[in-house]
Amino acid sequence: MNSYMAAKKFKLCRLVQENDGRYRVYWNTINPDGSTRNNKCRVKDRKEGLERCRILEEELSQTGLVEETVIEPEDRIMIDRFYKTNPSISLAEFIRRYMSFVAHPKQSRTVGDLFKEWKKHKLLTASNRENIRLTLSRVNVFKEVFGKKIVSTIQKDEVEKWLYGLDIAEKTRQHYRAAVISFFKWCEIDMTNIKCPKAVRPEPGIYSVDEAVQILHYTKTAQNKMLAPLVIAMFCGVRLSEFEYIEWKELDLSNPDEDGDFYLSGGKTGRRIVHLPSVAKKWLLTCERSNGLVFDFGRCKKHVDRIYDAFRRTIPEYIEARQNGYRHSYCTYKVTCFGNMASVADEMGNSIQMIRKHYYKPTRKKDAELYWKLTPEYVDFVANSAEPDGKCFDFNEISEFRKIV
């Protein structure tokens, strides 16, 4: 006698007589999560079983609960191939992602492609051009890392790891997080719960005095058009983004042996008075001056990226570039030499807390005093005294320099 004897007249359920002679009815239903549930019940005899199957058939056809589906050979081959190439992803998850791509076509494209469209959208709809420029710049940094990835495949922990690796202030890190969330929202992806981990902040990067001499000499001889902006960055501590507000007519270069100041009409923290030390005046008097801005934008728009690119070229390849190195150096040597952190904070457009946490690096006072005596004459003397071997100068070996300073 066969183990099973099925009633074939029913499509959505089966009546089976098992080895012990008893009858059971089998049928399948679909759970809310999409999985299949196998159901069975025992009946007294064949007649009761057939009646139960008839009732179930009507109920299943009305409620949408389905029978076991026969998989075609071609479909079976594709399913087997899928599991071999994607062992960690269930078939249900794959179908969910595919349906997401169909419903949200942006999610199937790369970050690089989407960034171009998002940038156009932002520029067309922006009410504040300055804020949107910063947002675009921050997402552009994200794009440089994730540009080739499909946007929907990027995991939250990847974004958090990227945020952690940025060498920026904690407040700025929050701004980067907000910008990236805005981009993902436009891509119809929720990233609002990504965390912004606090990084262990490295010591502020400054240029040593001998590196400062090298940079000044190199810029004077190889990047002369950038000498004036470089001098203001090194000896006045302004932000690079503030050069679009600094005009030659604001710089009073009379009495070069005395300190002065100039009016900064705009920038990140608004208008302020900036200290113009004697050493900066002496350098600026050697530069070619005009009636316009100190930084020559040429025919290009006043875009901060152009300023950053130009300042990178003022650093010789044998010197390691430091992020915000000129501003950090100014703060460190000014505070160390003159000791008034509150005054320096006002001149730089920052708070004392920000200066102490992100700009100031403990330094020997004799090095700080030397920094403020790096006039054109002194730099030329040291440059002509050192061998041109591509190394930074060591002032401990240049006793003549110590004497004349």
pLDDT digits (tens, 9 = 90+) for 237-274: 888 888 888 889 989 999 999 999 998 887 777 788 88
**Cβ-Cβ contacts under 8 Å for 42 (sequence gap 6 or more):** 22, 23, 24
| Span of 26-40, 334-348, 391-405 with lowest mean pLDDT | 391-405
Q: Which residue has the higher pLDDT, 4 or 107?
A: 107
The closest alpha carbon to 349, from 241, 247, 277, 200, belongs to: 241
pLDDT category, 303, cuts 50, 70, 90? low
Other C-beta atoms lying within 10 Å of the C-beta of residue 179: 19
Domain harbouring 167, CATH code: 1.10.150
Q: Could you count the other beta carbons within 10 Å of the beta carbon of residue 278? A: 17
Whole-angstrom distance, CA of residue 220 vs CA of residue 234: 14
Q: Does 43 share its domain with 136?
A: no
- At what angle are helices 129-146 and 304-312 packed, to 10 degrees? 50
Query: Does some domain include residue 202?
Result: no
CATH number at residue 369: 1.10.443
Can you read off the two tokens belonging to residue 221?
A: 């001889």
Q: Which of 142, 169, 138, 170 is nearest to 154 (CA)?
A: 142
What is the pLDDT at residue 124?
Answer: 79
Q: For the purposes of burial, counting CB atoms within 10 Å of the CB of 157, is it exposed (0-12), middle (13-18) or buried (19 or more)?
A: exposed
| Mean pLDDT across 267-295 | 87
DSSP state of 386: S
- Report the distance separating Cα 361 and Cα 222, nearest Å: 30
Same domain, 250 and 351: yes
pLDDT score recorded for residue 91: 62
Query: What pLDDT was estimated at residue 297?
Result: 66
Would you say residue 101 has pLDDT above 70? no
Is residue 194 in some structural domain? no
With a cut of 60, say whether residue 4 has pLDDT above it: no
Tokens matching residue 228: 């004036």
- pLDDT value at 1 more than 60: no
CA-wise closest residue to 231 among 285, 297, 178, 271? 285
User: What range defines the domain where residue 82 resides?
Assistant: 73-103
Residue 390: pLDDT over 50 = no
**Same domain assignment for residues 99 and 112:** no
> Phi and psi (nearest 5°) for 260?
-140, -160
- Residue 80 and residue 17 share a domain: no
Six-digit token pair at 351? 């708070």
For the record, the structure tokens of 83 come out as: 């599991």
Averaged pLDDT, 377-403: 61
402 pLDDT band (50/70/90 cuts)?
Answer: very low
Pick from 17-21, 114-118, 126-130: least confident: 126-130
262 with 358, same domain: the answer is yes
Name the more confident of 146 and 85: 146
Same domain for 249 and 132? no
23's enclosing H/E stretch is strand 23-30
Is residue 108 exposed (0-12), middle (13-18) or buried (19+ Cβ within 10 Å)? middle
- Residue 2 placed within a domain: no
- Looking at the structure, tell me whether residues 146 and 268 fall in a common domain: no
Give the mean model confidence (pLDDT) for residues 322-346.
Answer: 89
The residue ranking higher by pLDDT, 201 or 131, is 131
The verdict on residue 349 lying in a domain is yes
- Among residues of the chain, what percentage have pLDDT more than 90? 27
Residue ending a domain, choose from 171, 186, 201 = 186
Q: What is the mean pLDDT of residues 46-58?
A: 87
Q: 195 lies in a domain?
A: no
Q: Classify each residue of 373-393 as buried b or exposed e, where b means 16 or more C-beta atoms within 10 Å of its C-beta.
A: ebbbebbebbbeebeeeeebb
Task: Note whether 329 and 367 are same-domain residues.
Answer: yes
The model's pTM is: 0.51
Residue 264 is predicted with a pLDDT of 86
The confidence score (pLDDT) of residue 60 equals: 75
Is the model's pLDDT at 3 over the cut of 80?
Answer: no
Stronger pLDDT, 251 or 83, i.e. the higher one: 251
Q: Domain for residue 288, yes or no?
A: yes
Q: Is the pLDDT reported for residue 70 higher than 80?
A: no
**Number of structural domains, the chain?**
4
Whether 282 shows a pLDDT value over 90: the answer reads yes
Which tens digit of pLDDT belongs to each residue from 205-237? 899 999 999 999 999 999 888 999 999 999 998
Calculate what percentage of the chain has a pLDDT beyond 70.
Answer: 76
Task: Please give the pLDDT value at position 396.
Answer: 47
Give me the mean pLDDT over the 343-365 stretch.
86
What gap in Å lies between CA 267 and CA 327, rounded to an integer?
A: 15
Residue 122 has pLDDT above 50, yes or no: yes
Residue 22 lies in a domain: yes
Same domain, 143 and 163: yes
Please indicate, yes or no, whether residues 236 and 144 belong to a single structural domain of this protein: no
Domain-embedded: residue 240: yes
Q: How confident is the model at residue 14 (pLDDT cuts 50, 70, 90)?
A: confident
User: Is residue 117 over pLDDT 60?
Assistant: yes
Burial 67-94 (b: 16+ CB within 10 A, else e): beeeeeeeeeeeeeeeeeeeeeeeeeee
Contacts of 273 (CB under 8 A, 6+ apart): 261, 262, 263, 264, 347
d(CA 38, CA 159): 42
Average pLDDT, the chain: 80
| Residue 7 CB partners (closer than 8 Å, separation 6+) | 14, 15, 49, 50, 53
Q: State the virtual CA torsion across 141, 244, 350, 283 in degrees, nearest 10.
A: 110
Asked whether residue 167 falls in the same domain as residue 228, the answer is no
Same domain, 250 and 220: yes
Q: Quote the tokens at residue 93.
A: 């998850």
**What does the pLDDT read at residue 82?**
64
Residue of higher predicted confidence among 6 and 80: 80
- Whether pLDDT at 68 is above 50: no
